[in-house]
Amino acid sequence: MASYQATIRSGVYDQIVARKSTFAITDFTTEETYFPTARIEDISSKPEVKVCSIGMGVDRPRQLRDPTKKVLELGVMVHVQQRIDPADTATADSIIELVEDIMDACEDDDLVAGASYSWLRTEPLKDENDLIYSYEALTVNGVFQAVFILFYRYIHEE
């Protein structure tokens, strides 16, 4: 069996690929990776979606009342990047819509067939201006970049 982190990352990736035709933008590349960023010069003018595991937290809450079980909280980071003209608000709007579409698609408890991963929450990473995209990357490098983390719960029996 693959690790819990790799399993949920693959579930998120598969969900994005499966729902791609329903998104605001359908022409984008998707990649499962352990290295979610790209060099500025390598980012294309087509959206790139990178799916990456970020780690696992473990808890043994009292609610379970079963010492043979523990709760795993798994995070999956999703990066959406595209090279754009900073003044092109229409393209930025469509990328934000794509980010929202991906968030909505991944708020699903059935991402991994036969396993009990439960979606907990989605947290967008914000820049120093409290924006859900990187203002600096957009204005300095001409790259629209949005990052968010999907959190899932898995109850593991020892």
Report the domain count for the chain.
1
Q: What is the CATH number of the domain that holds 99?
A: 3.30.2000
Let me know: does 146 contact 133? Beta carbons within 8 Å: yes
Of 28, 30, 124, the residue nearest 83 (C-alpha): 28
With 0.85 as the threshold, say if the pTM is over it.
yes
Is position 67 within any domain? Answer: no
Q: Which domain holds residue 128?
A: 4-62+72-157
pLDDT in tens, 86-138: 999 999 999 999 999 999 999 988 888 667 788 999 999 998 889 888 999 89
Could you tell me if residue 15 is inside a domain? yes
